[in-house]
């Protein structure tokens, strides 16, 4: 991508998310005090999609160093910090990062925030983190930058560290419709799951595991079928997919 175009997009993205914070978008709303107190007591989950938690078996041990990319908003970061992780949240939006700071301050949580462009993680030394997560972000990044981003993630992960990556699934027609009709996604280009696996493999990640999620609406006639989704995790038709990969 042309550097000028990249800067224009970063500026647009920053302003858009700052606006979403002001308008009260659900992905900008900090978690409640009850959620934080529950996490301190060991009752928590990591939610990186509209309604599906990361499988508990994928978590790194408490006390691990965690990097959340484009993950501001006072949600995942504070929950992980309350659960005993050393958390750094990296985001392009100052307003989103302010949400994390607000929750961390209110609950005396150890949490670091860094504003920047995800394509450049040079602020972090090699092998700094045990876990990195990135959710529904790469479709906003030019395909020419994907390999470089994953190489940077690989670099900052410790040996044996884990990457959790979530993306929209272009094989799902409802997902395609929602993305095509969303103003915020007007420049988005969805990543097929095979493409994502290939770039993970080319970056030398190992133990690559994937699941497909969000097959049915969470309300209405088909809501009763949600409990079947774990049995459909192999079927590449869910609204989103998730990957876990190990350095």
pLDDT tens string, the chain, 247 residues long: the values are 445 445 465 666 666 665 666 776 666 678 889 999 999 999 988 777 666 677 777 788 889 999 999 888 888 999 999 999 999 999 988 888 999 999 999 999 999 999 988 878 999 999 999 999 998 889 988 899 899 999 999 999 999 999 999 999 999 999 999 888 876 777 789 999 999 999 999 999 999 999 999 988 777 777 788 788 889 999 999 999 999 999 9
Measured CA to CA in angstroms, residue 108 lies from 90, 142, 231 at distances of: 19, 38, 40
Residue 220 has a pLDDT of 76
Measured CA to CA in angstroms, residue 79 lies from 116, 156, 243 at distances of: 22, 22, 21
Residue 5 has a pLDDT of 46
Whole-number Å distance between alpha carbons of 8 and 93:
14
Strand 111-115, strand 86-91: pairing:
parallel
Q: What is the pTM of this model?
A: 0.85
Query: Inter-axis angle of helices 146-156 and 193-202, to 10 degrees?
Result: 50
CB 90 within 8 A of CB 114: yes
Judge residue 158's burial from the number of C-beta atoms within 10 Å of its C-beta, 0-12 exposed, 13-18 middle, 19 or more buried. Answer: middle
């Amino acid at each position: 991508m042309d550097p000028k175009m990249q800067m224009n997009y970063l500026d647009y993205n920053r302003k858009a998310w700052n606006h979403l914070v002001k308008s009260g978008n659900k992905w900008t709303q900090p978690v409640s005090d009850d959620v934080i107190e529950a996490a301190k007591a060991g009752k928590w989950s990591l939610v990186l999609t509209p309604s599906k938690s990361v499988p508990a078996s994928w978590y790194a041990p408490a006390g691990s160093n965690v990097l959340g990319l484009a993950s501001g908003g006072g949600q995942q970061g504070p929950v992980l910090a309350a659960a005993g992780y050393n958390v750094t949240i990296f985001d392009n939006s100052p307003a989103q990062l302010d949400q994390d700071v607000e929750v961390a301050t209110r609950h005396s949580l150890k949490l670091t925030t860094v504003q920047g462009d995800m394509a450049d993680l040079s602020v972090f030394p090699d092998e700094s983190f045990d876990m990195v997560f990135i959710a529904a972000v790469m479709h906003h990044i030019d395909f020419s930058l994907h390999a470089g981003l994953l190489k940077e993630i690989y670099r900052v992960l410790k040996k044996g560290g884990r990457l959790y990556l979530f993306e929209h699934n272009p094989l799902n027609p409802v997902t395609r419709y929602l993305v095509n009709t969303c103003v915020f996604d007007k420049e988005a280009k969805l990543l097929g799951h095979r493409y994502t696996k290939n770039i993970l493999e080319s970056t030398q990640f190992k133990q690559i595991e994937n699941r497909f999620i969000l097959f049915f609406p969470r309300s209405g006639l088909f809501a009763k079928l949600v409990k079947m989704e774990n049995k459909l995790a192999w079927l590449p038709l869910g609204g989103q997919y998730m990957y876990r990969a190990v350095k």
